[in-house]
Amino acid sequence: MATDTPKLWYVAYGSNMSTAKFTGSRGIKPICSIRVRIPGFRLAMQIPGVPYSEPSFASITPRTLAEAEKGTEPDVIGVAYLILQCQYKRVIASEGGGIAYRDIRVLCEPLCGIDRKGLGDRIEMRTLATAMLRKPAPLPSQRYMAILEQGSRESQLPLSYQQYLLDKPKYQPPTSFRTKLGARIFATFWGPMMAVLEKVTRHSIQDDGTAHWSVVIMVRSTMFIMWVLWHDCVFAPIFGRGDGLLDCVVAGAHT
């Protein structure tokens, strides 16, 4: 490998912490990896997915002063991969091509001496943050959180952070006949629609890993229609919510 090939540090805090996901599904083999903390940022499940099945995905957001004073949310801890710049473009493409996530730079701290590797106390790294959010944030699925939990164990993140991930509220699949029926109807229409959008997005990926601007607008508009017009206005009142939230929580978030 040429020594002058551009490289960068990419911080994974979600499903990409899992080796099976990052090197398997994504097909990206890092040069090396270390564990890092992102001071001033907290984990937020605010990227909208699909109601009734995968309501949300992980992102990071700056911690507010009030949240810092409460001290209930730890700094984000994740796995930093040293990868080639061209590989990072593949990461962006695999995470939706800039539709739901945006590329940002963050200052990270290695967790301990073994992670420092002569890099210093603070290193500028790249990661993906929220570009399309849903408020209040839906609950993530048990399947999705299991991937994060597995990744945190594989990477031997601090036990306290592993427990934090385990304790995060998760979306519970519907148990009542009414909500099960609503979920099935919703999936029958939106499942094929989302599959088509994924194919369109993949075929529109540009050299920098992002989707064409027209596709970004189309997918974001479709997500708005799916969540606000279909879920919030029609399905939630008739069949029950598909985001794992209580009606009182949603009402409180809008007051």
Residue 155 labelled as part of a binding site: no
Residues 6+ apart with CB under 8 A from 100: 47, 48, 57, 130, 131, 132
Residue pair 59/92 in contact (Cβ under 8 Å)? The answer is: no
18 annotated as belonging to a binding site for a ligand: no
* Ramachandran angles phi, psi of 228, nearest 5°: -80, -50
Distance between CA atoms of 164 and 113, rounded to whole angstroms? 23
What positions carry a catalytic annotation?
95
One-letter amino acid at 249 equals: V
State yes or no: 14 annotated in a binding site. yes
Task: State yes or no: 10 annotated in a binding site.
Answer: yes
11 annotated to a ligand binding site: yes
Name the binding residues for substrate.
Answer: 10-15, 144
Name the binding residues.
Answer: 10-15, 144
